[in-house]
C-alpha cells in the first residue's frame, strides 16, 4: 500500500535542498561592500533577473495583470501576462515586503513542494520504499550531463570544447541548480502534478489538466512548450516504440493515450487565443518570435 504522507527523510530533503540553494544569494550579501559595491539581490543570471525584478516592481506599483516590456521605447499596448512576476508584485504590494525577499521565500516553498510532488509521482514507478527514496534523492541533487562533458573536454578530448557551452550552466540538467530560478521551479511543480493526476486517475483530472497546462504557459512560456510537447507525444510514443522493434502498431493504446492527453491539448486553445490577441502588439510580437526561435 502506497504511503499517503512522505516519510521524514523526504521532508528533510525537501527542506534542505531549497535552503542550500540560498547559498549563492547569501554569498552576494556577504561579499558586498556598500556604498561602492552593493548586491542587488540576485546572485545568478543577473541580467535576466533584473528584468524579472522590473516586471515584479511594475505589478507592485500598478497592479495590472497586463504588463509592458520596460526595456523598449517602442509604443506598446501592455499585453504581457507573466503570472509569476505579477503574483510576486501583488504580494509585495499587499504585504510591503521587498520583491527580492519574496523571491527567496517563494523559491524555498516552490522547491520544497517540487521535491514532494516528485516523491508522489515516483510511487507510480517504484513500489519499494528504498528505491523511491533514492529516486527522489537523485531527482533533487543529480547534475546530469554537464560534468561528463566538462571532464572529457578537460582530461581527454579538447575537441569537445565547442559543445561544452550548452552544458556550461549547472541549472540546465539539475534540479538542485534549477532551484536558483523559482519561475522555472513552479511550472515544473505544476507539470509534475499534472503527470501525477494522469497516472493515478485522479477524480476531476481532465478539468485539472485543462487548467494546469495554460497556467504553466503563463508562468513560463518555455516550460509551457515542454508541457504541450509532452502531452502531444503521449499518443505517438506507443506507435513509435512499436515501429522501432518492429511490432504491430498498438492503435488501441494510442487511442487511450490520446483520450488521456486530449484535455491538456484542448487547453492550448486558451493559449492560442491569448497569443492571437497579444501578437497584435508589435513589441510582444518581436519578443515572442525571438523566444520561439
DSSP conformation class of 37? B
pLDDT band at 70 (very low <50, low <70, confident <90, very high): confident
pLDDT digits (tens, 9 = 90+) for 23-58: 888 888 888 888 888 888 887 777 788 889 999 999
Q: Distance between CA atoms of 100 and 121, rounded to whole angstroms?
A: 31
- What percent of the chain is modeled with pLDDT above 90? 58
Distances (CA, A) of 284 to 72, 83, 89, 112, 187: 11, 16, 21, 33, 21
- Rounded CA-CA distance 132/2 in Å is 11
Residue 145 has pLDDT above 70, yes or no: no
Phi/psi of residue 37, nearest 5 degrees: -130, 100
- Is the Cβ–Cβ distance between 257 and 238 less than 8 Å? yes
CA dihedral 220, 72, 103, 268 (to 10 degrees): -20
Q: Rounded to 10 degrees, what is the CA torsion of 273, 230, 169, 131?
A: 140
Strand residues in the chain grouped as ranges (E)? none
- What is the arithmetic mean of pLDDT over 209-228? 95
Q: What is the pLDDT of residues 191-206, one digit of tens each?
A: 999 999 998 877 889 9
Question: Cα separation of 25 and 43, whole Å?
Answer: 5
What per-residue confidence (pLDDT) applies to 1? 43
With cell 582530461, the residue in question is 155
DSSP letter assigned to residue 201: T
The neighbour count for residue 148, using CB atoms within 10 Å, is 12
Instruction: Round to whole Å and give the CA distance between 206 and 217.
Output: 17
Do the beta carbons of residue 182 and residue 106 sit within 8 Å? yes
Residue among 77, 81, 47, 88 nearest 66 (CA): 81
| Longest Cα–Cα distance in the chain | 71
Whole-structure pTM over 0.95, yes or no?
Answer: no
Lowest mean pLDDT among 15-19, 43-47, 144-148, 220-224: 144-148
Work out the angle at residue 197's Cα, subtended by the Cα atoms of residues 103 and 241, and round it to the nearest 5 degrees: 110
Amino acid at each position: 500500500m502506497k504511503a499517503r504522507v512522505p516519510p521524514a527523510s523526504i521532508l528533510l530533503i525537501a527542506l534542505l535542498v531549497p535552503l542550500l540553494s540560498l547559498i549563492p544569494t547569501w554569498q552576494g550579501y556577504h561579499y558586498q561592500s556598500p556604498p561602492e559595491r552593493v548586491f542587488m539581490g540576485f546572485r545568478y543570471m543577473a541580467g535576466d533577473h533584473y528584468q524579472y525584478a522590473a516586471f515584479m516592481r511594475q505589478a507592485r506599483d500598478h497592479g495590472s495583470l497586463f504588463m509592458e516590456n520596460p526595456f523598449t521605447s517602442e509604443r506598446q499596448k501592455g499585453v504581457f501576462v507573466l503570472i509569476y512576476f505579477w503574483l510576486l508584485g501583488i504580494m509585495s504590494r499587499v504585504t510591503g515586503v521587498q520583491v527580492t525577499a519574496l523571491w527567496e521565500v517563494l523559491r524555498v516553498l516552490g522547491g520544497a513542494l517540487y521535491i514532494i510532488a516528485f516523491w508522489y509521482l515516483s510511487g507510480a514507478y517504484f513500489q519499494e520504499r528504498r528505491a523511491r527514496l533514492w529516486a527522489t534523492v537523485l531527482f533533487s541533487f543529480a547534475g546530469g550531463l554537464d560534468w561528463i562533458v566538462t571532464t572529457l573536454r578537460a582530461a581527454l578530448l579538447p575537441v569537445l570544447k565547442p559543445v561544452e557551452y550548452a552544458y556550461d550552466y549547472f541549472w540546465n540538467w539539475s534540479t538542485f541548480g534549477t532551484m536558483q530560478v523559482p519561475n522555472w521551479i513552479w511550472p515544473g511543480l505544476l507539470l509534475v502534478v499534472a503527470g501525477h493526476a494522469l497516472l493515478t486517475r485522479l477524480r476531476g483530472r481532465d478539468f485539472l489538466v485543462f487548467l494546469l497546462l495554460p497556467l504553466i504557459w503563463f508562468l513560463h512560456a518555455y516550460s509551457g512548450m515542454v508541457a504541450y510537447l509532452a502531452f502531444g507525444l503521449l499518443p505517438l510514443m506507443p506507435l513509435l516504440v512499436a515501429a522501432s522493434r518492429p511490432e504491430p502498431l498498438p492503435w488501441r493504446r494510442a487511442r487511450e493515450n490520446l483520450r488521456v492527453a486530449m484535455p491538456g491539448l484542448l487547453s492550448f486553445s486558451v493559449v492560442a487565443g491569448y497569443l492571437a490577441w497579444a501578437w497584435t502588439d508589435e513589441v510582444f510580437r518581436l519578443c515572442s518570435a525571438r523566444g520561439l526561435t
